[in-house]
Amino acid sequence: MEVHDQYKDPVVTCNSMGICEEERPCQLTCPQVEKASQVVQSPKDDSRLKCGDSLWSACDRLCVQTRMVSTAFSDGKCHETNRETRPCHIDACAREDPCLVPYSVRLVLGFRGIDLSQWSIRSEMAISTSVATAISNADNRLEGLGPGDVTVRMARSWFLDEDSPDAATPYRPVGKTAPHGVKAVVDISIANYQKKASLTEEDIDGEAPPKRWGNLSKHFSKSPTAKDCYDEDLYVLAKRTLSVKKTVLKDKAFLSNLVKLLSNDN
C-alpha cells in the first residue's frame, strides 16, 4: 500500500499484552489487490532487508515480554510470521507486585577495549541472556531465572581511575584521557517463581483499554492489584538473594562461564 492510497487517519490499538497495531484505512484498485495477493516469502532477501528476530519488548504488567519474527517477502518488505513470548520480572512487572519481585541484585561489569559507540540494545540482550544462564548454572535453586529477569540499567564509558575508593564524587576525566572500555550496570530480579502475576489478561482487558496510544499510561495507572506477601516466601527469596550476591557472583567460575557465554553469543 502506498501512502497516497490512504484516505483516513491511521488508528493505533494496543492490547493487554503490550502489543500495538496500526490500522491504515485505504482504497486499492482491483489490479493492486491482485498484485498484493501474489506476494510470497523470499527468505533469500532476509539478510538484505535485515528481517528476522526483533528486539524483546519491555516487560509488561502480566510479566511477559514479546518479540516479533519477520521474513522477507517478494514485495521487498519484512512481514511478521510469528510472535514469541517469554516470562520476565523486570520493568512494569517488578513495579506491579513487590511480593512477586521483592529483591534484586546489582552487578557492575567492565568490558575492556570496547568503545561506547559500539554498544547497542543487542549488546544488552546478550548480557541479559548470558548473566541469567551463568547464574542458573552456578545455583540450581535459581533455575527459573531467565533472560527476562535481567536488565541492563545503564552503560557508559569506563575510566580506570573512577574506581578509586578515594573518589568522593563521580569521576570526571581530565584532558584527553581515553576510556578503558564500557561499564554496564546490571540488575538481577530475584522473583517468586511459584507466585503468579497479580494481574491477568482479563483484568487488564476489563479496564476498557483506550483506542489511542496517548491514553495508555493513564489507563495503566488506574488498576489496583492484590498483593499477598508471606514471610516464608520472603525468607527463602532473601536467602537466594544473599547466595547470588555473596557466593555466585564472587565465584571465579561464574565470571569465566559468563565470559565464555558472551564470546559464544558474538
CA 107 vs CA 185, 188, 238: distances in Å: 6, 8, 17
Greatest CA separation found in the chain? 75
Grid cell digits, residue 185? 550496570
Beta strands, E only, 113-227: 150-158, 181-190
List the domain range (segments joined by +) for residue 172: 100-202+236-265
CA 235 vs CA 56, 99, 142: distances in Å: 32, 12, 15
Q: Measure the CA–CA gap between 244 and 188, rounded to whole angstroms.
A: 9
pLDDT digits (tens, 9 = 90+) for 48-107: 888 887 889 999 888 999 998 888 888 888 888 898 999 999 999 988 888 899 999 999
113 is a domain residue: yes
> What residues contact residue 253 under an 8 Å CB cut-off, 6+ apart?
138
221 is a domain residue: no
Q: How many domains does the chain have?
A: 1
114 is a domain residue: yes
What mean pLDDT do residues 213-219 have? 43
pLDDT over threshold 70, residue 265: yes
Residue 164 pLDDT: 63
The H-or-E segment that residue 78 falls in is: strand 78-87
pLDDT over threshold 50, residue 222: no
Q: DSSP letter at 263?
A: H
pLDDT over threshold 70, residue 125: yes
pLDDT over threshold 50, residue 244: yes
CB–CB of 23/56 below 8 Å?
no
- Structure confidence at residue 163 as a pLDDT band (50, 70, 90): low
Q: Which residues of 172-195 are buried (b: 16+ CB within 10 A; e: fewer)?
A: eeeeeeebbbbbbebebbbbbbeb
pLDDT over threshold 80, residue 168: no
- Cβ neighbours around 150 below 10 Å, total: 27
What mean pLDDT do residues 35-60 have? 83
If you compute the radius of gyration of the chain from its CA atoms, what whole number of angstroms results? 23
173 is a domain residue: yes
260 is a domain residue: yes
Q: Measure the CA–CA gap between 73 and 207, rounded to whole angstroms.
A: 38
pLDDT over threshold 90, residue 260: yes
Instruction: Name the average pLDDT for the chain.
Output: 81
Antiparallel, parallel or unpaired: β 103-112 and 78-87: unpaired
What mean pLDDT do residues 18-24 have? 77
CB–CB of 85/93 below 8 Å?
no
pLDDT over threshold 70, residue 141: yes
228 is a domain residue: no
164 is a domain residue: yes
155 is a domain residue: yes
